[in-house]
Amino acid sequence: MKIIMLGAPGAGKGTQAKMIADKYSIPHISTGDIFRANIKNGTELGKEAKKYMDQGQLVPDELTVKILLDRVAQDDCKNGYVLDGFPRTIPQAEVLTDALNKLGEKIDYAVNVDVPDENIINRMGGRRACVTCGATYHVVYIPTKVEGICDRCGSALILRDDDKPETVKKRLDVYHAQTQPLIDYYTAAGVLRSVDGTQDMKDVFNDIVKILG
Ligand code: ADP
Ligand code: AMP
């Protein structure tokens, strides 16, 4: 099963994508996580991506598309995957559609996690992320057992540089201008399904499972 997660930054795409990946035994692929791992390791790609990420802007399509296509060509993607944070522009979606078409494949579902902008700033300020294993928490809604320490791998959690309120506002603008049009794109492809992302994370997940079966 090939799934795309759509939604504003902070809507809960990553949180749900990880639960989907566990339940359906498919890899969770987050372009944001791939960029952050590269930044952490000081690679050229990381240096380039950071310039855009810190400004709340999108990393250019050429860079992002290459990384994603390389990743989905790997062996563990044979039975599908859940994409989190890709595509974020119409050109990215078109490249993915074309690449899948060539293989006689297609996206099965684009799950739109719907959360109004008012709720987003609040969520992002409390987000804490583990750069070692990719887990995400919230200081109020999804707390860790020990403050500041990842439940899954024991590493120290970080507050993402791009989760500052000014940057979040910019990212929301970028989302509305460049990413929201994907809702129409995947509606036209007949694969869009929307869920109410303002619910508790378990209820959001139940709604997604009803869709995916
Ligand atoms: P995205 O991947 O869409 O940017 P995340 O999954 O990282 O979003 O979620 C953003 C923040 O909101 C995180 O701190 C996460 O723990 C929290 N969160 C995710 N889902 C919910 C939910 N249903 N209710 C409350 N907080 C949530
Ligand atoms: P995320 O972890 O999905 O919130 O992504 C964090 C940041 O990484 C975004 O604000 C972008 O700067 C960059 N990024 C992640 N995925 C993409 C993508 N598909 N296209 C362009 N930039 C991306």
Which of 50, 160, 169, 170 does the annotation list as catalytic? 160
Q: Quick check: is 160 catalytic?
A: yes
What is the rounded average pLDDT of the residues 87-104? 97
Q: Which atom of ligand 2 is nearest to the CA of 87?
A: 19
How many CB atoms are located within 10 Å of the residue 48 CB? 16
**Best substitution site from 59, 127, 131, 168 to test ligand 2's pocket, by max atoms within 8 Å of Cβ?**
59
Distance 81 CA to ligand 2 centre (A): 18
The residue nearest atom 6 of ligand 2, judged by CA position, is: 32
175 DSSP assignment: I
- CA separation (Å) from 112 to 7, 59, 99, 179, 195? 5, 21, 22, 11, 6
If you average pLDDT over every residue of the chain, what do you get? 96
Distance 32 CA to ligand 2 centre (A): 5
Q: Quick check: is 193 catalytic?
A: no
Distance 16 CA to ligand 1 centre (A): 8
pLDDT of residue 170: 95
Task: Check if the beta carbon of residue 92 is closer than 8 Å to that of residue 64.
Answer: yes
pLDDT of residue 131: 86
Which of 13, 18, 71, 123 does the annotation list as catalytic? 13
Please report how the helices 90-102 and 181-188 are oriented relative to each other, as an axis angle in degrees rounded to 10: 30
pLDDT of residue 7: 98
Cα separation, 46 vs 165, in Å, equals: 23
Q: What pLDDT band is residue 122 in, cutting at 50, 70 and 90?
A: confident
Domains of the chain by residue range: 2-116+166-212, 126-163
What is the rounded average pLDDT of the residues 164-186? 95
Indicate the class that CATH gives domain 2-116+166-212.
alpha beta
Nearest ligand to the CA of 129 is 1
Q: Does 71 score more than 90 pLDDT? A: yes
Q: Quick check: is 171 catalytic?
A: yes
